[in-house]
Structure 1
C-alpha cells in the first residue's frame, strides 16, 4: 500500500486522506490491469491541506509497480471493499499512529475512499471527525443505480451508519454528480441519525471535478460546521 505523508512535530492530530477506487475498470465489463488512478483526487485533496500533519493513503495495489503477485484483479474490482481490504488499511493506520501516542485522526475519503473512511471510523477509537467528498457511502445502492454487478463481499458503510451517531462529520457532494448523486449523502445522514452529520452540496461540481482546487475553501470553514450542534 502506497502512502505519502508530511508530519511536523509535535504530532497531535493527523489529517488522513483516502483515495477513491482509481482506474478499476476500462469499461463496464473489462477490468483494468492496474488500479492506479489517472486523476488521483484524494491525493489532490491531501496536497491542498496546509495542516502541519497530513497522511495520504492510496487504496491497495495503487501506485505500486511492478504489481506484486498478490495484487490480483479482484483486489480493485469485486473485493475492493472486502473485510481484507479494510483490514489492510486499518493496519496501515496502526503502523503510523504507533509512532505518535495519543494522536487523533481526522479522516477524509474521496468516492469509494469515503466508504472506507466511514468504515474505519466505525472501528477505531482515535478518530475525531469524518469528511467525505463525493463519497460512495452506500455501495449496494450505487451499484444498483448504475446496473452493475453486485459486490457480495463489500462492506457497506450505510448498513452500520448509526454507530457514527456522535461523530462530527461532513459529507460534500456536487450538485452535478451523476456517479454518486447527493441522495447517497442524504440517505447516509438519515441512517446515522442525530445532529452531528451535515451534508454540503457544492454547486457546479461533478464526481470527477477538480475538488482539490475547491478544498482549501471548503475545509477552511469545516471546523465550525463540524462542531456546530454536535
Structure 2
C-alpha cells in the first residue's frame, strides 16, 4: 500500500496542478470575454503566447498589454510548477481599456495548453523542448525565473507584434507593461519604431536593483531595460508607481530614470492607495487619461519622490 501511495503521489500533484491551471484560465476568460477580449494563442518564435484580443478597427493603432511574472515562485526559495498568474493584473487593466483595439499578451509558459507541459518543465529543467500543438516550445522553468527577459523571449514578442501588424494592418502600438512585463515592454519600445508610447504599471525596470533590494538570485539570463536608456530617450513614457508598493518600490523607477541623461520624455505618477496587486486597476480609466509626451523643459526628477517622503504611504 505504501508503495502504491508513493507511486500515486506525482499523479495527484499533477491533477491538482491541472485543476489550478484550468481555474486560472477560466478566471481569465471571465475577465476578458465580457468586454470582448477573446482568447487566442499566438505562435511566436520559441513560444506560444496566450493572448486576449479585441480588434474592432483594422488598420488603426492598437494598445498592447504585457502580463507580469505571474506565479513564478511558491516562496522565496521554491520555484512554482506553473507561472500562470492567479491575479492577472495586466488582463484586468486591459479589460478597463475602452479603445477599439486592445491586445493582451501573457508571458511564456503561462496558461499552458497541456497539463504534462507543467510537470515536464518543473521536473526536467534541462529538457527544453516540449511538444505543444505540434510545435516545439521552450518551457524550461528558467523562463519564469532567471531568463524571464531573455533575448529569445523578446524575439517571441517581436514575432507576436509582427503577426498583429500583418494580420490586422496595425500601423503602430501603444505598449503597457505590468510588473516584470514592464521590462519586456520597455525593451520592445527601445527596439521597434512602431511603438509610439510606453506605459508601465508597478514596473520592474531594473532587475539588478530589484534582486539586490530583495536579496534574491540575480536574473542572470535576462536583458535589463536600464541598458536601453539611449534607445528609449526619445520614446514618450509614463510610469505608474504604487505608493504602497513594497515589491516594486519607487527606488526601482529611480534607478531606471538615473540612466537617462535627457529625462524630457520621462513622466512618472505616484498612485495613491495602490500597492503591487491592488489599486491600479480601480483607477486605470483615469490614469490612462494622463498625457504620455515629451516636454520641452526637463522635469524635476526628484519632485515626485519628495512628495512621497512628505506624504508617506496612504
CA contact (8 A) 1:112 1:136 kept: yes
Aligned to 2:101: 53
Aligned length: 227
The aligned residue for residue 96 of structure 1 is: 164
- 1:10/1:81 Cα in 2 relative to 1: closer, same or farther (>3 Å)? closer
Tell me which residue corresponds to 1:124: 192
Where does residue 13 of structure 1 map in the other structure? 61
User: In the alignment, what sits opposite 1:34?
Assistant: 82
CA distance in 1: counterparts of 2:78 and 2:294, whole angstroms: 45
Task: Say which is worse superposed, 111-120 or 202-211, in terms of deviation.
Answer: 202-211
For residue 25 of structure 1, what is the aligned residue in structure 2?
A: 73
What secondary structure does 2:198 align onto?
strand
SS in 1 for 2:108: coil
Q: Determine the C-alpha separation between the residues in 1 that align with 2:231 and 2:223.
A: 14
Helix, strand or coil at the partner of 1:158:
helix
Unaligned runs of 5+ in 1: none
Do structure 1's residue 158 and structure 2's residue 226 form an aligned pair? yes
Among 68, 72, 77, the residue aligned to 2:145: 77
- Mean CA deviation greater in 88-97 or 62-71: 62-71
Q: Which consecutive residues of structure 2, in runs of 5 or more, have no partner in the other structure?
A: 1-48, 118-129, 131-137, 297-314
Partner secondary structure for residue 59 of structure 1: coil
* Match among 262, 277, 284 for residue 215 of structure 1: 284
Give the match for residue 217 of structure 2.
Answer: 149
| Distance across 2 between alignment mates of 1:191 and 1:7 | 36
Classify the secondary structure of the residue corresponding to 2:253.
helix
| 1:43 paired to 2:91 | yes
Change (3 A) 1:206 1:102: closer
Query: Which residue pairs with 2:39 in the alignment?
Result: none
User: As a proportion of its length, which structure holds more helix?
Assistant: 2
- Could you report, residue by residue, the CA deviation over 1:32-51 in whole angstroms, capped at 9, with x for unpaired residues? 11100000000001000000
Higher relative contact order (CA 8 A, sep 6+): 1
Distance 1:72 1:64, change over 3 A: same
- In the other structure, the counterpart of 2:154 is 86
Instruction: Indicate how the Cα distance of structure 1 residues 228 and 161 shifts in structure 2: closer, same or farther if over 3 A, else same.
Output: closer
Given that residues 189 and 199 in structure 1 are in contact (C-alpha distance below 8 angstroms), is that contact kept between their aligned partners in structure 2? no
State which structure, 1 or 2, has the greater radius of gyration over its C-alpha atoms: 2
RMSD of aligned Cα (Å): 1.4
- Which residue of 1 is the match for residue 252 of structure 2? 184
Tell me the TM-score normalized by structure 1: 0.94
Q: For 1:55-94, what per-residue CA distance to the aligned partner results, in whole angstroms no more than 9, with x for missing partners?
A: 0000001112325423221121121111111111111111
SS of structure 1 residue aligned to 2:258: helix
Q: Is the contact made by 1:82 and 1:153 (CA closer than 8 Å) also made in structure 2?
A: yes
The DSSP-based 3-state class of the residue aligned with 1:116 is helix
Q: CA 1:150/1:228 → structure 2, altered by over 3 Å: closer, same or farther?
A: closer
